[in-house]
Amino acid sequence: MDERRNGFWMVWCEGGRAPTYRHASYESADSEASRLARLNRGSVFYVLRCVGGRVMPQPQPREVEVVYQAGESAGERPWGEN
């Protein structure tokens, strides 16, 4: 395992917006699901528990060497001339 993060819970309603808040406890998420259900009668609010995650590492920059033929350099010709 490369990385550890604290577990969390989220509240989700099918057809609603994507969850954005991470609840630190089940009780907090359950309380929020109850609050939202009271405000949105007929909608079901689910309490979801995170069980894992994945991340793709950022690629590392690579150095690129620029070479010129003999007699050619950026300073020998004005910009824009071919």
Question: Torsions phi, psi of 74, nearest 5?
Answer: -60, -25
What is the predicted pLDDT for the residue at 70? Answer: 76
User: How many distinct structural domains can be found in the chain?
Assistant: 1
Per residue in 3-13, pLDDT (tens digit) is 889 999 999 99
- Pick from 44, 50, 48: which is nearest to 13 by CA? 44
Answer yes or no: are the C-beta atoms of 48 and 19 closer than 8 Å: yes
pLDDT of residue 37: 97
**Three-state SS sequence of 36-69:** HHHHCCCCCEEEEECCCCCCCCCCCCCCCCCCCC
**What local confidence, expressed as pLDDT, does residue 72 receive?**
65
User: What are the tens digits of pLDDT across the range 9-65?
Assistant: 999 999 999 999 999 999 999 999 999 999 999 999 999 999 999 999 999 999 999
Domain that holds residue 43: 9-49
